[in-house]
Amino acid sequence: MTNMENNPAFVKELQTRFDKKLKENEISVLEYWKAQIDRLLAMKPDGIASLQSQIKRVSDMMDTRIRTMKKE
């Protein structure tokens, strides 16, 4: 290990930056999916089948993203 890795201030700064980046990424993901749900709310579907179709589309998008992330 190098001297920097043994330095508690360095480790704390690194952890702080990591936590901040993780939080920013989570906010970004939540904003994206909230926008998808908001689009559903704004729709004026012809009937329940149309609404179900749109909800299925969003669910499929989420499923695809989950599978993609698990592969990485």
* Predicted confidence (pLDDT) per residue in 25-71, tens digit: 999 999 999 999 999 889 887 888 988 998 999 999 999 989 988 88
Task: Please report which helix (H) or strand (E) contains residue 12, including its range.
Answer: helix 8-42
6 pLDDT above the threshold of 80: no
CB 47 within 8 A of CB 61: no
Both tokens assigned to 30? 């939540």
Where do the structural domains in the chain lie, given as residue ranges? 3-71
Residue 30's closest CA among 62, 4, 70?
A: 62
Listed in sequence order, the residues at least 6 apart from 1 whose beta carbon sits closer than 8 Å to its beta carbon are none
Cα atoms found within 13 Å of the Cα of residue 51, Cβ hemisphere only: 11
Given pLDDT bands bounded at 50, 70 and 90, which one contains residue 2? low
Q: Tell me, what's the pLDDT at 44?
A: 82
Q: Tell me, what's the pLDDT at 15?
A: 94
pTM of the predicted structure, to 2 decimals: 0.69
- Report, as an integer, the average pLDDT of 12-33: 93
